[in-house]
């Protein structure tokens, strides 16, 4: 069945644009693995070309929505102009195709490849330079301890990102946006003791996140028995830097704190905060450190020491583990980013969920069990993927314990499940809002009729009230999903509000000179048994 789905997707999505994008098709599919359970190519050239122009059309649509004042329309215009500039400058419009494949490489191991293709010489947007320009040896992997459960390092030009945001937000004209951006440097300096521009200038364009899970150092949360122990979990942020600007600023801020342990030895400066004793779900000894070109912010000084020992080769690291060696088969050693996820992540999450279920007496919650089954698998559940910015586009290569087709279907299923849950609630909320607005509008019409009667000695229909300036001209068209009408006889009027469709509102309403809002006399536009009765 999965093979059939793959063939259908490939044929339907590729053949319609193959003639126009043959070069893109060949360039993308040359990196993919045929013969697996997923082989997909999508030409995006026609979809994304001129996307910024399409955004202008959406802007015109939203600014033309009735009921907005001039300020709302102007702010909407500014917001869409801001998005249009971001799209145009990002390079998204340069994407010409996307491809993905998945193939079994062994028992419980699937290789996956994907490419976001822009074509040679067609990469002017910051999407193609913000996350690194040239693939290189990824030294960050040499900092990962053997107990690493999640490790991810990526090239990231934060000074470029800041300049993009500063420029685009400053030019947006959105009320308060420019002022908020201008206040951020002062807030950053107040919080860290270092100027934002100096901190950004000290960065060398690479950052990483490390999470370790050590089963040999189990922790029992407060009040839990021996069977409720969880592994020791530690986390660390790593920044590649040009100098010690960030470390020195934080060090100066902590200089007067007697609870800080200072470590200074050749090649390492480290400061560790001793926290008061108390029950915690994880061991906490917050630490900062500087080692050559790396700055560390960690939940534990021991994790920093372990990472440096791996870097120095005095302690085995992640690369020594069988799980990593299996996942790293045929994966490039050079790139701009890598992400490793261990099977330990799923196992630990499942253990914590089960402990929580046991503690709360909800041991067989079907929804929790469904999610646990969805994201668990037999065999290796981890993954290792490398992303490289090639001269043709972004190339993603990796291995995992789950097929890319399963991951893709899971990713598609999640929003569909959420939509199926949220859509009825959103619809009901939309209907209720329109119904409330309709009732309020009928009350406004009642007031307008009273004013008209005092001056004209009779009630007026809808056009007459609008001409007299007692009602807004927007009542000539549906307002918040309701169509309004007024019937007038000698000394009497009936103002009616009916929804233009069932999605806009469930009920119809009317009002007479007594000012009492009632449900429609039509049974289908009123709650059961309340047709023609006053609303509550």
pLDDT tens column, 114-149: 999 998 888 888 888 899 989 999 999 999 999 999
pLDDT (mean) for 383-389: 94
pLDDT (mean) for 173-196: 84
pLDDT (mean) for 76-104: 86
Main-chain phi, psi angles of 316, to 5 degrees: -65, 140
Indicate the average pLDDT of the chain.
82
Alpha carbon distance, N-terminus to C-terminus of the chain: 55
Contact, 239 vs 207, CB < 8 A?
yes
Contact, 158 vs 200, CB < 8 A?
yes
State the pLDDT at residue 200: 93
The neighbour count for residue 357, using CB atoms within 10 Å, is 15
Structure tokens at 188: 């950053």
397: pLDDT strictly greater than 50: yes
pLDDT (mean) for 40-54: 77
4: pLDDT strictly greater than 50: no
Q: Which of 33-42, 205-214, 440-449 has the lowest mean pLDDT?
A: 33-42
| Vertex 484: Cα angle to 483 and 486 (nearest 5) | 150
How far from 64 is each of 71, 74, 308, 438, CA to CA, in Å?
A: 13, 11, 60, 21
Main-chain phi, psi angles of 174, to 5 degrees: -70, 130
pLDDT band at 526; cut points 50, 70, 90: very high
pLDDT tens column, 218-232: 665 555 555 556 788
198: pLDDT strictly greater than 90: yes
413: pLDDT strictly greater than 70: no
pLDDT (mean) for 308-333: 93
Residue extents of the structural domains in the chain:
145-316, 424-525
* Residue corresponding to tokens 């790396």: 294
pLDDT (mean) for 66-87: 78
How far from 210 is each of 238, 301, 375, 442, CA to CA, in Å?
A: 8, 13, 21, 60
State the pLDDT at residue 116: 92
Is 425 or 164 the better-scoring residue by pLDDT?
164
State the pLDDT at residue 240: 96
State the pLDDT at residue 191: 80
Is 53 or 476 the better-scoring residue by pLDDT?
476
Is 317 or 175 the better-scoring residue by pLDDT?
317
The model carries a pTM of 0.67
State the pLDDT at residue 171: 82
pLDDT band at 10; cut points 50, 70, 90: very low
State the pLDDT at residue 408: 56
pLDDT (mean) for 499-528: 92
353: pLDDT strictly greater than 70: no
Is 115 or 72 the better-scoring residue by pLDDT?
115
What secondary structure, in 3-state letters, does 39-90 show? EEEEECHHHHCCHHHHHHHHHHHHHCCCCCCHHHHHHHHHHHHHHHHHHHHH
State the pLDDT at residue 424: 61
């Amino acid at each position: 069945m999965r093979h059939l789905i793959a063939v259908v997707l490939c044929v339907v999505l590729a053949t319609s644009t193959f003639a126009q994008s043959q070069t893109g098709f060949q360039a993308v599919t040359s990196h993919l693995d045929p013969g697996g359970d997923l082989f997909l190519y999508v030409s995006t050239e026609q979809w994304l070309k001129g996307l910024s122009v399409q955004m202008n059309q959406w802007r015109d649509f939203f600014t033309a929505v009735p009921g907005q004042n001039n300020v709302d329309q102007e702010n909407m215009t500014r917001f869409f102009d801001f998005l249009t500039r971001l799209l145009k400058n990002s390079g998204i419009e340069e994407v010409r195709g996307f491809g993905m494949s998945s193939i079994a490489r062994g028992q419980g191991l699937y290789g996956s490849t994907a490419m976001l293709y822009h074509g040679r010489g067609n990469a002017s947007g910051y999407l193609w330079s913000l996350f690194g320009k040239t693939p290189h040896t990824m030294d960050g992997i040499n900092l990962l301890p053997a107990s690493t459960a999640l490790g991810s390092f990526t090239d990231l030009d934060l000074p470029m990102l800041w300049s993009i945001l500063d420029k685009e937000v400053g030019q947006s004209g959105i009320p308060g946006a420019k002022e908020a951006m201008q206040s951020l440097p002062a807030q950053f300096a107040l919080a860290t003791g270092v100027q934002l521009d100096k901190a950004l200038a000290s960065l060398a364009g690479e950052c990483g996140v490390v999470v370790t899970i050590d089963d040999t150092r189990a922790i029992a949360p407060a009040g839990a028995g021996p069977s409720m122990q969880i592994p020791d979990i530690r986390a660390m942020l790593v920044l590649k830097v040009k100098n010690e600007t960030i470390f020195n600023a934080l060090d100066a801020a902590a200089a007067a704190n007697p609870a800080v342990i200072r470590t200074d030895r050749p090649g390492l400066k480290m400061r560790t905060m001793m926290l008061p004793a108390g029950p915690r779900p994880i061991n906490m000894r917050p630490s900062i450190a500087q080692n050559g070109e790396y700055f560390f912010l960690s939940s534990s000084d021991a994790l920093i020491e372990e990472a440096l020992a791996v870097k120095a080769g005095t302690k085995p690291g992640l690369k020594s583990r069988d799980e990593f060696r299996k996942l790293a088969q045929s994966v490039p050693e050079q790139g701009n980013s890598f992400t490793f996820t261990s099977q330990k992540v799923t196992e630990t999450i499942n253990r914590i969920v089960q402990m929580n279920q046991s503690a709360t007496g909800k041991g067989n919650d079907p929804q929790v069990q469904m999610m646990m089954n969805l994201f668990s698998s037999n065999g290796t559940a981890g993954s290792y993927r490398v992303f490289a910015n090639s001269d043709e586009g972004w190339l993603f290569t990796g291995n995992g314990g789950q097929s890319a087709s399963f991951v893709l279907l899971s990713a598609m299923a999640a929003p569909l499940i959420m939509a199926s849950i949220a859509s009825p609630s959103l619809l009901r909320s939309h209907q209720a809002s329109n119904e409330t607005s309709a009732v309020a509008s009928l009350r406004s019409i009642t007031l307008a009729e009273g004013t008209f009667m005092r001056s004209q000695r009779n009630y007026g229909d809808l056009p007459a009230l609008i001409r007299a300036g007692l009602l807004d001209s927007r009542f000539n068209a549906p307002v918040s999903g309701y169509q309004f009408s007024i019937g007038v006889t000698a000394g009497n009027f009936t103002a009616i509000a009916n929804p233009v469709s069932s999605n806009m509102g469930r009920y119809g309403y009317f009002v007479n000179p007594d000012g009492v809002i009632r449900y429609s006399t039509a049974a289908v536009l009123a709650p059961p048994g309340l047709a023609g009765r006053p609303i509550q």
